[in-house]
Chains A and B, each alone.
Chain A
Amino acid sequence: MKAFPLYILMIVATLGAAEPDAPSAGEKAYAKGDFAGAVESWQEEARHHGINPGLLAALGNAEWKLGRKGRAMVCWERSLLLDPHNAVALAGIRHGQNAGGVERPGATWPETYASVAGADLWLLVATLSFWAALGAVLLPRIRRQPAGEWNQRLRVTALTLLALCIPGLWGARSLAHRAVIRKTEISLRLTPTQLGEATQAVNEGDVVRTGRPFNGHIRVTTSDGKTGWLRAGEIEPVWGGGLPADLDQKAAP
Chain B
Amino acid sequence: MLRLSSLLIGCLLLALTAHGDDRVNWEITPRITAPGQPFRLQIQVDSDVPLGGAQNVGRDIRPPRGMALRLSGQILRPDSTEATLNFSGVAPEQEGEYVIPSFNLRFPRKMISVPEIKLIVSKTVAFIRTNQARAELSIPDRTFYVGELIRGSINMRGGEQESVVASFGLESVAEGFTFGVTSDRQPLPAEMGQGLQTSFELTPIREGLNEVIINGIMLIQSGSTSVFNNAGRDRPFTFRRRIAVEHVPQKGRPADWSGAIGKFTAEPQQASNEKPEVGEPIRLRAVLTGSGNLDRIVPPEIMSNEVWDVLPATERRRHAEEQRFFVYTLVPRLPGKQKTPEIRFSSFDPETKQFSRLVFASAEVTVTGNAPAKVDLVTRDPAAPIGSDAGLKLSGLAKPDPASGSLFSRHSMIEPLAASKLFWSSNGLALLLIVAATGVILIAGYLASHPQIIIHWRAKRGLQRAIRQATRARGDAPAFAKIATGGLKLGCAAILGAETEAMTQSDILRVLPEAKRETLDALFDAADGNKFGSGTTIRTTNQEEALILLHLVRDLL
- A residues sitting closer than 8 Å to B (CB atoms) are 15, 18-20, 24, 26-27, 30, 32-37, 39-40, 42, 45, 49-55, 57-59, 61-68, 78, 81-83, 86-88, 90-92, 94-95, 98-99, 119-120, 123-124, 127, 131, 134, 138, 142, 172-173, 176, 239-242, 246, 248, 250-253
Contact = CB atoms under 8 A, between A and B. Distances in A.
By CB atoms of chain B within 10 A, which of A42, A51, A94 has the most? A51
B298 A253 contact: yes
B472 interface: no
Given A53-B405, A138-B434, A253-B298, 4 more contacts: A99-B395, A239-B416, A240-B419, A250-B207
Contacts of A176: 416, 418
Contacts of A250: 146, 207, 247
Interface residues of B, number: 60
Contacts of B410: 49-52
Interface in B403-427: 403-407, 409-419, 423, 427
Interface in B503-549: none
A98 B298 contact: no
Contacts of B297: 253
Given A176-B418, A241-B413, A242-B413, A35 B406 contact: no
B436 to A, nearest CB: 13
A64 B255 CA distance: 11
Interface stretch (B78-86, B103-111, B339-347): B339-347
B344 A138 contact: no
Closest 8 CB pairs of A and B: A253-B259, A58-B400, A54-B404, A50-B410, A252-B147, A36-B256, A91-B398, A58-B402
A120 B417 contact: yes
B401 A88 contact: yes
B414 A242 contact: yes
B330 to A, nearest CB: 14
Contacts of B346: 36
A251 to B, nearest CB: 7
B286 to A, nearest CB: 14
B414 A52 contact: no
Contacts of A239: 414-416, 419
B387 to A, nearest CB: 17
B303 A78 contact: no
Interface in B236-260: 247, 250, 254-259
B23 to A, nearest CB: 54
Interface string B192-213: 0000000000011101000000
B406 A52 contact: yes
B397 interface: yes
22 contacts: A19-B403, A24-B403, A34-B342, A35-B255, A53-B405, A54-B403, A55-B406, A61-B398, A61-B400, A66-B255, A68-B255, A98-B395, A123-B417, A172-B416, A173-B418, A239-B415, A240-B414, A246-B250, A250-B247, A251-B146, A252-B147, A252-B205
Contacts of B401: 54, 57-58, 88
Interface in B216-275: 247, 250, 254-259
A130 to B, nearest CB: 8
Nearest to B296: A253
A91 B396 contact: yes
Contacts of A246: 250
Nearest to B409: A52
Contacts of B397: 61, 64-65, 88, 91-92, 95
Interface string B437-453: 01001000000000000
A58 B305 CA distance: 18
A81 B411 CA distance: 12
A134 B319 CA distance: 79
A34 B413 contact: no
Contact of B409 (A53, A138, A240, A248): A53
